[in-house]
Amino acid sequence: MVLVTGGTGLVGSHLLLKLAQQNQSVRALYRKGANLERVKTVFSYYSKNSKSIYETIEWAEADLNDLPKLTLAFKDITHVFHCAAYISFDPSNYKILRATNIKGTANIVNLCIANKVEKLCYVSSVATLGYDADLITEETKWEGNQNQSVYAISKYGAEMEVWRASQEGVAAVIVNPGVILGPGFWNSGSGLLFKLAGKKQRYFTNGRTGYVAVNDVTKAMLYLMDSDIKNQRYVLVAENLTYKEILTTVAKSMEIAPPTKLASERMLQFAMVFDWLQSKLLGRKRRLSKALCCALTRDCKFSSEKIKTDLKSFKFTPISEATQQVVQYFF
């Protein structure tokens, strides 16, 4: 039986659909209060039989740090896809990030070891890779915590737990996707790109990063899980695009005007200070931390040659095509 954590997230929901369509026996974890209806909505994007597909999944309510419930969820499990994570770039959420992403992953790893799980696939991020290279690969070394977001630090710590599993008898693979593009989650992650474009965002920053379609991420995960490959990590990036290029691509998909004004580093610094003041005076959540400002102006290019070499039939969806696929569900 297959266990999927984070079943109500972007990657988790798309992965569950593919597993269910393959008639695999699947148990999915969800947190108390999670929106299961959103999973049904995602299924409906791709299948007319979404309700019957959804009903084949066994759902188990369990937090990553609720060991009694987690232990029960691991009954009869042979393979684990660990997609669950807390996402925040707000430094004030560092303790929550550590508790969920590092301690929670340690709990998953310990239960994989205790239950002799055959294989574990972990969804990490390109944020855990070093960035001091012209072309960033799986071998680019982590630079330490300086100028790294609290999210990146927590995901790096989670990877260390997964490598521990590989040293204790559990075959493990890690995927490091770039910004994941997919429908159904418009208020978080890449969904905000489409919301910004829909509001005719005028500004862009001069940074660059990698992008990948959600269905390419889940496809890679399934291929890797079914292969003999173990104890490896893989960058998943279809294209490296500047922020102007991605916002323009999304805008064209929506048939609206693209952004035309560069947000300078000075403007970003002013916005960061204003955001900090709002958080202190009005109690609002931070949206623009120092680390995020650095990321928005950092020029990062990632290589996905390793997965193309190891999985010779693997091909990425062009980002222009991926944005078109997402936009059809946005309106």
Task: Judge whether 277 lies within some domain.
Answer: no
Give the residue among 87, 212, 106 at the shortest CA–CA distance from 153: 87
Task: Judge whether 295 lies within some domain.
Answer: no
Predicted local distance difference test score (pLDDT) of residue 145: 62
Question: Which CATH number does the domain housing residue 46 bear?
Answer: 3.40.50.720
Model confidence pLDDT, tens digit, residues 251-280:
888 888 787 777 777 777 767 776 666 777
Give the residue among 132, 214, 226 at the shortest CA–CA distance from 178: 214
Phi, psi of 174 (to 5 degrees): -125, 135
Task: Judge whether 42 lies within some domain.
Answer: yes
Burial 19-53, CB ≥16 within 10 A → b, else e: bbeeeeebbbbbbeebebeebebbbbbbeeebeeb
Give the residue among 160, 22, 7, 178 at the shortest CA–CA distance from 82: 7
Task: Judge whether 330 lies within some domain.
Answer: no
Task: Judge whether 329 lies within some domain.
Answer: no
Total domains present in the chain: 1
Give the residue among 18, 6, 24 at the shortest CA–CA distance from 43: 18
Predicted local distance difference test score (pLDDT) of residue 102: 97
**How many CB atoms are located within 10 Å of the residue 313 CB?**
6
Instruction: Tell me the mean pLDDT per 10 residues along the chain, length 331.
Output: 96 96 95 90 92 94 95 96 92 93 97 97 95 91 78 95 95 97 84 74 82 97 96 97 90 83 72 70 70 76 96 93 88 62
Give the residue among 30, 1, 23, 22 at the shortest CA–CA distance from 13: 30
Tokens of 62: 């369990």
The whole domain housing 50 covers: 2-185+209-241+301-310
Predicted local distance difference test score (pLDDT) of residue 205: 78
Q: How far apart are CA 109 and CA 10, in angstroms?
A: 22
Predicted local distance difference test score (pLDDT) of residue 117: 97
**How many CB atoms are located within 10 Å of the residue 197 CB?**
25
Specify the residue for token string 């699947």: 26
Handedness of CA 295, 297, 298, 304 (dihedral sign): positive
Q: Which helix (H) or strand (E) holds 140?
A: none
Task: Judge whether 318 lies within some domain.
Answer: no
Predicted local distance difference test score (pLDDT) of residue 206: 83
Task: Judge whether 218 lies within some domain.
Answer: yes
User: What's at 87, amino acid-wise?
Assistant: I
Task: Judge whether 190 lies within some domain.
Answer: no
Q: What is the pTM of this model?
A: 0.91
Predicted local distance difference test score (pLDDT) of residue 40: 94
